[in-house]
Amino acid sequence: MATIEPVKIDGLSQFSRNLRKLDNDLPKALRLANNEAGETIASAARAKVPRKTGHAAGTIKTKSTRDQVRIQGGSKRYSYYPWLDFGGRTGKKRSVHRPFISQGRYIYPALGANYDQFEKLLTEKFLEIAKQAGVEVT
């Protein structure tokens, strides 16, 4: 699997600060745009998780701030998700073995497969927000 570079947008923090000067609600739109773009990755990962009860797949969530998107799996109640995704040993005397895969099986591969769609959606949403703010984008 090829390494995936994070999507970095130069000046995003400044853009967010300037949006706040124009209208207090506009930076919230950045967070919502990040959530929507991240959800494309999360839903693709959820679809690949093996289902016995569906609890592990249900723990894959998108969380974002104005300038970051995080997709995480697992919860306190269903703490076995990292083992499902990455593998390793668990159980009594570490007797249950699942081959370790450093790239994971679900979230990172979903990011790799949907990276272009994620980037395109994020760009479209940010352009919409800029237009709402009355900023000309070329």
- Going residue by residue through the chain, which has 138 residues, state the pLDDT in tens, using 9 for 90 and above: 445 666 666 667 777 766 766 777 777 888 899 999 999 999 999 999 998 899 999 999 999 888 788 999 999 999 999 999 999 998 899 998 999 999 999 999 999 999 999 989 988 988 888 888 777 766
pLDDT for the residue 138? 65
What is the number of H-type helices and E-type strands within the chain?
5, 4
The Cα–Cα gap between 101 and 104 comes to: 5
Per-domain boundaries in the chain: 12-132
